[in-house]
Structures are given as structure tokens and as C-alpha cells.
Structure 1
Amino acid sequence: MASTTYDKELNVALLAVQRASQLTKSVFHQNAKGTLNKSDASPVTIGDFGAQALIISALQHNFPDDEIVAEEEAKDLRENGQLRDLVWGLVQDTKLSDSAAEQTLGGAVKSADSMLDIIDKGDSKGGSKGRIWAIDPIDGTKGFLRGGQYAVCLGLMVDGDVKVGVLGCPNLPVSDSEPLKDGIGTDASDEEGKFGVLFSAVQGQGAHSRQLGAAGLQQAKSIKMSPLSNISDATFCESVEAGHSSQGDAANIAKKLGITKPSVRMDSQAKYGSIARGAGDLYLRLPVRKDYVEKIWDHAAGDLIVREAGGQVTDVEGKRLDFSHGRTLLENKGVIAAPKEVHARVIEAVKEVLGAKQ
């Protein structure tokens, strides 16, 4: 029986995300990204498949009875032998240089065929009962492809409640004090000590950041959201893609709040990590259409990290995000993350702007 402190779960999740992040960095620097188009028209890369295989392999080794909800399936690799071999080569080559860390993760995936089966183990329907991991192997694939922000995301839900969250953000600066600005990470390199952050949180134990490495885990530092005495001074971030969040509504909300700084647009759950450590203040993800439903893997880890850093995360109506309804946030619309002391004021402005459209 796993300890309710979730020490083992956190350690495995951190190491698994760190190893998967190393694979994604290798893919980017090799300039052979193997881009496909899925049926929903979003790009998929060999990095998505490889990272998912490595993470699920570690989870299966350590927690064989747990269910897994993951974004990718191996169908495209089964139909494309050349792409399968490319992914398999990367999975074989990606190892942490710390032998104890590799042993914890269970070592290498045994074969190309077993890799495909491992990828397909992310087919859980989710729900409100039991232990379920949510994985987004590369959140912000378009950001990844252009050298911007992306995140390797892993969260553990127990009976529908997020207990452990880890984000690997290879293109964010290591320093928690570096301010959030447009273009952050676009000149990212592998220069030691400069880029790559692991964010993590366990329910009731606070949030932490540490430098992303290639071996064992670096020293963790506690992170907190910045105190915000005057909301007009806030820095807010939103999605790069207009199809993911209504940028016009966000601008009107900022105006109502007296915010004059332009928004910082960045891909992925790196936004959650950025505001959790105080580099930014608000994250607005506003519905673009009534039938749009968020996926749980896009928010589970970031939701917990922000809340454990002293923030509040709800939908646009002020309801907590509910991860107990399968693979989607079926009962929620949009996301608002902000420091606790100003969250109610932000929700008020959101309701005014969105209500005026109805």
C-alpha cells in the first residue's frame, strides 16, 4: 500500500518527467521532429510518443495497478514503421546518467513492440474512483516545434482529487525571480544553469521548483505566488493560440481590472508554473465556444501546483476544476488562476465581460 504522504509517487513522477524532458530536448536539437497531423489537426511529434512511452513505462514498473489517462495512442506508429523506428531509437537512447535513478524508473523499454503496447496503456476512461495518472507528454506542441514554451505534464488523481503534480518546462529560465515577458524561452539553449525547470506539488505539502537535470534530482526550492496588493499591477498570461482562449475577452477583462501591461502569450502549462513561482500573477483561459471541453491532462498538474503555491484555480464561474468526470473537465468552462486575495475580483470582471456577450 502506497504511503499517503505520496513520497514514492512524487519521486517517481519527478524522475520520469525529467527523463522524458531529456528526450524532448534531444528531439528538438536533432531537427527531425517527425511531425504528423492527428484527426484534430494538432501536430504530433516523435517527442510526444517517446515521452509518453518513457513515463508510462516508469509508472507501470512502480505502480502496476494504477490506471493512466494519456493523450497519445500508438495507432500512427503501428501504421508507419519508419516513424516507429525513429521513436524507438530515441526511447532506447534516453537514460538518466544516475544509475540509481534509472533503477527507480525500471530501466529501458524492452522492444519496439512493447513500446507501442506501453503507449496504448494510457487509454483509461478516468473517473471518480481509484488512482489515475494523467499524462500530457508534450503540452504545447506548437510551442515545442518553434522553440518556445512547452511542458511535460504528469498528475496523480485519487478518487478524482489531484494529489501529485509535476511539470517539466525545458525552456523556462531556472531562476524563479526572472520576470515573465513575451518571447521567454525562444532563445533557449542547453547552457548549464540557464534553462529548464521542474515544478512539483503534493497536496498539503506546498509547491517547489528545481533545475531540470540529466541525472538525479537537483535540490528543491519552495515557491509561492507573488503578493498582489494592487491588481492593476498584475502580469497576466494567456494562450498563444486564439483557438484555445478568447484573447479579445481577456483584453477586456484586463481593462476592467485596470491592468495596463500587455498579456504574455505562451504555450502549455508553463503558464501555471510561471505564476506559481511569482514570475506572473494571473492565468486566463477563456472559452472560445460553448461546446469546447478541456482535457484533464492539460490542467491536472498545473492546477495543484498553483493551489499549493497559494493561488486559487477555478473555471470562469468560480467553480473548482473537477477531474472526476472522465478524460475531460466536463463540468467546467475555462480556467482562471490567480492569487487568493484577488481571485474573487478577477472572477467578477470575467463574469461582467462574458455576461455582456450573452
Structure 2
Amino acid sequence: MSSSSSPQYALERSVAISAVERACSLTDKVFRNLVTADTVTKKDKSPVTVGDYSAQAVVNAILGSHFDEDPIVGEEDSKDLQKPEAESLRKQIFALANEALKNPAQECPAVAEAESKANTQAWGERELTERELLAAIDRGTAEGGAKGRCWALDPIDGTKGFLRGGQYAVCLAFMVDGVVQVGVMGCPNLPHDASSAKPKEGEFGAGEKRSDLGTLFIAVRGQGAFQRPIQGGEEKRISMRQISSLSEASFCESVEAGHSSHGTNARIAELLGISAASVRMDSQAKYASISRGDGDVYLRLPVGDGSYQEKIWDHASGSLLVEEAGGKVSDIRGKDLNFGVGRTLRDNRGVVASQKEHHAKVIDAVRKALEEEGRGHL
């Protein structure tokens, strides 16, 4: 799929970038037009439903136009959308999806070249039909596995962050034989510069958005990690912050305590001599943040009895981003994440990401903290 003169997976990289760009533009529009103060207080999830379905339709349609035999592991299927009572929702979703597909790609020369050689229609030359968009959504029902090519998609990772005007991400990963090879993540509310203030939740809605927000993160195995504005621009290589001791580190953790115990995290920080305040945000944006030095350690520890199995789309693109930025990602036992056993990380418990040289010490502290809680069996 790539010429001998192109880097490995150059086409997959370009197609993924274009798909995520479009999905980010779409979800940003959904937030501005559909999310209100009442949405959050009334726990109205309809904007997330619209965003999830329409973004998945867009990404899957684009992937299908270039890699029609590649399975996709995604969150949604179209079963509920096909019900008669969903007609209004269906029309809204398909209008958004077709509008996003008409947007020109920012920087995808490899895609343009491939379309020219294949003599295929450029995306957006005609509107996709309802049947085609439903089929695109249903391309995301693959089971994954350890053989062959596969994509993993989370169209809106961090739904609560999305609704609050906080951090969320559009996450797309390409895998071969269960190993992540390409990861692209769009973070519409993350500043281009790690040193810039992140938006306060609810800071913007229908009004103007800060021009310094919206960052795209890209990684290809063995080729490094990069970021650039979602709107287009020069890619900049990124790397994790270099620290001589973990006492200089800071955690990047979930806003929601239900995703990973803040109390356990605090004990781990104490064991490691970390006193800096944690950076808290929703979604895989945490992976993106530590990959460019905004935070150093990301923990997603098992809660309760540890029976929950992490979904592959929640970690595939982010884990590669950290690894290519010089980090190490494993589960709480130090085992590599296994993306080749289906739709979940059933061989793993929890996730730990940190600088490679300090990873073993972080794992030791995690194990000690869990043992103190009587959860050392996890």
C-alpha cells in the first residue's frame, strides 16, 4: 500500500490524519450547536450520541474508501439508529456526516496521490446515502485479534469532558497482527503549546473558540511522535520530559475518580516522593499530555474488584504516542498491553505510562499501594 520510496504506513498515516481532522471539526460543531448548560445539569447525553455516531460514520467511510478489507473495532453499531423513532436523530447525524466529508483535507498528499492512481471519486463529491452511512457505522463491529490488519476507533473519548467543555479526544489506531503501528489523536480543546492554560470547563460554548486550541498528535512505530494544530501547520516532534528523579514528576490522571482511584494515586505519589499537583483531564488526552511533557506519569488503576476489562480503543493510539515519545506503557504488573486478544485488553489489568527509565519504580510503587489496600492479587 506504500511505495518503496515512502516511509512504512505513509498512506495509513495520511488517511488517519484526514479522517480524524474531519471528525474533530464535526464534534466541535456538535458541541457548539447542541451542548448547553442544561445539557450537563440534566445529564442529557443526546449531543454525545449525535457526535459519536456521526464521527464514527465519517471515519469509517473514509477508511472504507481506501482500505475496504480492513476490519474496524469501534464503539457503536447502527441498530438503535434504524428504529422508526430514531428518524429525526438519523437525519441529524447523516447531515453532519456528509457536511464533514465535504470538508477539504488539510494535508494529505499521499491520499490525493492514491485517489488519482485509483481513479476514484474524491471524498465529498457526492453525498453518501442513508444506507451507506449506516453501513459505515456498522464497519466498527469487528472483533479484532492477533492476525492481519485492523483499526480501532473511539469517536469521542471522554464523553463527560466533551459535555463540560473540557478535554476529549478522537482516537484512531492502526494495528497489524495485534501490534499498534499508527496512532492519530485529535484533541480539539488541548492548547498547541503545553505551557498554555487549558480552557476551564464550560469556558466556551456557542461563542468564539480560542485560536490556540485544537491539537493533532501523530505517531508511527519506529518513526517518532509529532504534534501540530488540527487546523493544519508544521508538525513538531515531541518527547516526554526528561527528569533525573521521580520526585520531580507529576501525575496526569482522570477527572472522574471512578475511572482510577485518586486516593490510591495519592499514596503512589507519596511512595515515589512526588509532591507536585496532579494534572487532571478526561480522555486519552492524558497520553498526549505526558508525551509532550505536560505531566510525567499516567495511571489508570483497576477499581473495585478489578473485573473491568479496558477497551482497546481507549488505549491503542495513546499508548503508541507515549512509546514513540520515549515512554513505556504497561499494565500494573509491568506486562505489555496486548491489543491482539479481541475488543478488550483482557490479558491486562490497569494501565501505567511513564518515562522508560523510571517505569520499574512506578510499577513497584503501584504494587505496594495495592497490597496495602488488600488488592495485591490484582
Same fold by TM-score greater than 0.5? yes
Q: Distance in 1 between matches of 2:202 and 2:213?
A: 11
Instruction: Write the mapping of 1:20-59 to structure 2, written as runs, cut at 5 A.
Output: 20-31=23-34, 44-59=48-63
Please give the TM-score of this superposition, normalised by the length of structure 2.
0.86
Q: Which residue of 2 aligns with 1:82?
A: 88
Instruction: State the shift of 1:357 in Å.
Output: 2.3
Instruction: Write the mapping of 1:167-246 to structure 2, written as runs, cut at 5 A.
Output: 167-178=185-196, 187=203, 191=209, 193-213=211-231, 217-246=232-261
Q: Retained in 2: the 8 A contact 1:237–1:271?
A: yes
Q: Distance in 2 between matches of 1:242 and 1:114?
A: 40
Root mean square deviation, CA, Å: 2.4
1:284 aligned partner, one-letter code: L
Q: Say if 2:335 is the partner of 1:319.
A: yes
Q: Which runs of 5+ in 2 are unaligned?
A: 40-44, 116-121
1:218 aligned partner, one-letter code: G
Instruction: State the shift of 1:245 in Å.
Output: 1.1
Instruction: State the shift of 1:106 in Å.
Output: 2.9
Q: Distance in 1 between matches of 2:147 and 2:18?
A: 26
Q: Which residue of 2 aligns with 1:165?
A: 183
Correspondence for 1:62 among 60, 66, 72: 66
Q: Distance in 2 between matches of 1:184 and 1:310?
A: 29
Instruction: Write the mapping of 1:1-358 to structure 2, written as runs, cut at 5 A.
Output: 1-2=1-2, 5-31=8-34, 44-79=48-83, 80-94=86-100, 95-98=102-105, 106-107=123-124, 110-178=128-196, 187=203, 191=209, 193-213=211-231, 217-289=232-304, 290-358=306-374
Please give the TM-score of this superposition, normalised by the length of structure 1.
0.91
Deviates more, 1:348-357 or 1:266-275: 348-357
**Once the two structures are superposed, what CA deviation does each residue of 1:317-354 show, in whole Å capped at 9, x if it has no partner?**
00111101000001001111001121111111001001
- Partner-residue secondary structure (3-state), 2:286: helix
Q: Which residue of 1 aligns with 2:42?
A: none
Q: Retained in 1: the 8 A contact 2:31–2:47?
A: no
Question: Structure 1 residues 63, 187: closer, same or farther in 2, change over 3 A?
Answer: same
2:188 aligned partner, one-letter code: P
Q: Distance in 1 between matches of 2:107 and 2:196?
A: 33
Q: Distance in 2 between matches of 1:171 and 1:299?
A: 19
**Once the two structures are superposed, what CA deviation does each residue of 1:41-71 show, in whole Å capped at 9, x if it has no partner?**
9994201111100000010001111111001
Q: Distance in 2 between matches of 1:192 and 1:142?
A: 20
Q: Distance in 2 between matches of 1:170 and 1:8?
A: 23
- Partner-residue secondary structure (3-state), 2:139: helix
Instruction: State the shift of 1:243 in Å.
Output: 1.9
Q: Distance in 2 between matches of 1:158 and 1:109?
A: 32
- Partner-residue secondary structure (3-state), 1:349: helix
- Partner-residue secondary structure (3-state), 2:275: coil
Q: Distance in 1 between matches of 2:35 and 2:246?
A: 44
**Once the two structures are superposed, what CA deviation does each residue of 1:17-46 show, in whole Å capped at 9, x if it has no partner?**
00100000000010258x8xxxxx999420
Q: Distance in 1 between matches of 2:107 and 2:168?
A: 28
Instruction: State the shift of 1:246 in Å.
Output: 1.6
- The size of the alignment, in residue pairs, is 349
Q: Distance in 2 between matches of 1:190 and 1:300?
A: 32
Question: Structure 1 residues 233, 186: closer, same or farther in 2, change over 3 A?
Answer: farther
1:76 aligned partner, one-letter code: D
Q: Retained in 2: the 8 A contact 1:43–1:142?
A: no
Percent identity reads 52
Question: Structure 1 residues 317, 276: closer, same or farther in 2, change over 3 A?
Answer: same
Deviates more, 1:316-325 or 1:261-270: 261-270
Question: Structure 1 residues 100, 235: closer, same or farther in 2, change over 3 A?
Answer: closer
Question: Structure 1 residues 109, 276: closer, same or farther in 2, change over 3 A?
Answer: farther
Q: Distance in 2 between matches of 1:43 and 1:242?
A: 23
Q: Which runs of 5+ in 1 are unaligned?
A: 36-40
Q: Distance in 2 between matches of 1:62 and 1:240?
A: 37
